[in-house]
Structure 1
């Protein structure tokens, strides 16, 4: 809808224009009326209408002066002049000064509407053209932004050097003016997204704003380009990266931008509600961007030890790199954790989580924080694979996925334990003692034709054999070995009654390779040999 201002010194004409035409039907909203040019200028100081209908001869400021003032103040309204036959030359002068059109007095509604409708149509075309232009500009900016992001992600992921001059050529194409031999890489990790990031869209907007803040900070000290990095690029260890070349790096031990980065960290918390940590590399050639980014990631990861909201440079890595060793976690931790999850033993799970946290603390001086985090991810992947394999065999959907919690080492044990406890509560029906026995019986029945030991079943269920023996005995009212013997004899009795199979064939089907041993066990249970049992038809 377009806005309209009516300027006319004769009140009855002004009111007639305002009230006799159904402006809403024409897609127009009447926003004001004035009795002369001076009053109209005061209204225009508050808001600028799309269309102005004005008389040309008025006391004080006439229509021509009013029109010139509009143009001087660059008010972009469409002005329609009302003119009598006697002042037609005024109307021609008004058209020369930028009026859209004129209508002759006395005003006839259909004549005025004809001009108004043409004006509205032109305004619509103008809005559409502006919208298309803004769309093209926005699209060009987004395309350039995405192209830069794609280029740098390719460079950051590639370990082998590019051909000489290729990176410089791409930089020139994408209007990036980084220094070819003096560029530094920054990695930004969002440690805590805060309360404002409730949806994916919220996170995207926060990330966009933080990216702009980072690049603006960088450009105060030299050429800079900042961009988001996909989760796959850094495995979640950074959300943003920036490449920066200092304008005047000489005579400084640290880059000048470092003085402003603590303020950026504070602003991110105050304005966006996020806690971030920043790591940065030393200066190097653009061909070494991959190694520089790894340095920045390693530096940024010290938030895991420090708790976040920190700034760390690659110098801190120098001594730590000499002692850095791979991290695998406590011995057999993944297998033990899966067993505890399958049993649903929260006390045992808590012991395992605390054990893992203590193990990481013990390795804090031996491993870089990023080394520990990467080791944890592999450890948790092993847990998930073992758990998935178990549930596939059991044909159940109940599975708990273990993810690396987004918290510092200090909070790690509590956060992980809370996550596991909540998942265990949601999954508890399938983790009961009854569930364990049911799965054990299914396994025994499906392997009836060969010897099955208690250790076999416990391993199949990822359970400690002592715990499984205790649960089985309490739930079934007899020991595992006695149940297996009894179930085999029951199966043999059915086969003796219902089939013509020979005794040695029946012995083989119920898991006995030695017919004499089978006969002995059968007689101990039934007081008869298998042959006597068949002959008597009991």
Structure 2
């Protein structure tokens, strides 16, 4: 495995990049940090990192000067440099110092992922197939294994060929797939290993407990492990070992949700086993977090969550009236622990919600646009459900998505003229919050007198137009601040506040803490 150095003058950016990198499924032997070029140079000489991610503008010694110095002493690290748009020409100078590639802020997750993959592939090709620690795979092999797990093409025959080509032995004839996810993204300190990410630590612990384990990091601080076991007593031994591991992690203040597949057979592909593990993992919504769930113990699938045409009609009516309170009561009565616990799997519940989204969406305003919109985003909705920690929270996410669908096609609604005008202006603000907005501009959108529209808006919404715009901007700012790659001054610009000090003042007035405090609080509670 390779090592990584992250260089940026803001601690929150460095920690944020670590979280994103782990979230993307990358695993490094060691990750070290530096807050400027001077510190980075000293760290480089001690650790000799394989990959370096560095910002350009930093105090004491900037990124360009740092690169020049390490190249002068013969460094061959792969370097990914990032820079703001205003520094683009400055960033091009870095090419002279053999920068692998540079990324422009705001850094897109897919761009960072692609850049890291290229750097790792380049290192793999240069260093060849070095001997790896037990249970570890090269980045390329790890990605191949994940492809087999996540796609229908991962048959037992293909998997056995994968093992044979890499001379990986499975001492026992059977295996299970374990899906484990930590509830919070954080660092973990362990004797002899320093500060590492929990998913990385978990993989190494499992290797020490079973005859053969192949572990690959996955999204959201999770790890997928293929564990070699005996068919008879193996499952009992597995349960005992995982319970022991779970207790160890709890003592360390870490909480993990576990899902365990059924036992492998030649007729069952990896993809099916992985889905079994994920289905077991989702039982956390009913039975709570921090437990181990086995696919073989899930209730038998039965269509107990039936919604008929009358139910669909009622839900559409509630959405058109925007009666979300009654809708929430309706859903919670139908989807609760009594109706699900021991009756159906959470996976069936999840599938039923996805089906309902399409059915209800196609009925709103007599249009299929909302249904198409939801169909194109169904994967994102499923991911959001996986982040929920209880049935009420999952139901609330479902209702929020239904409301999103109902407003998607808002222009075809049947509300009164004044209400429709207000809705159109609110939609305009949601889309243009980052631009200069004033009363005359908004009133012009709906062909109304500015003074009359201002009074009408406050009467209907219970809040002044100015305060509404501020609320939209602050809510958007809170979303951006959670993203580790954005600095506070960048968030101010992205949300329509041209002055960082004024942004901080308004933010604290509305939220109670400064943007910087909010950012630091959020990043360690993701």
| TM-score of the two chains, using structure 1 as the length reference | 0.43
Between Structure 1 and Structure 2, whose CA radius of gyration is higher? Answer: 1
Task: Give the number of the structure with larger relative contact order, counting CA–CA contacts within 8 Å between residues 6 or more apart.
Answer: 2
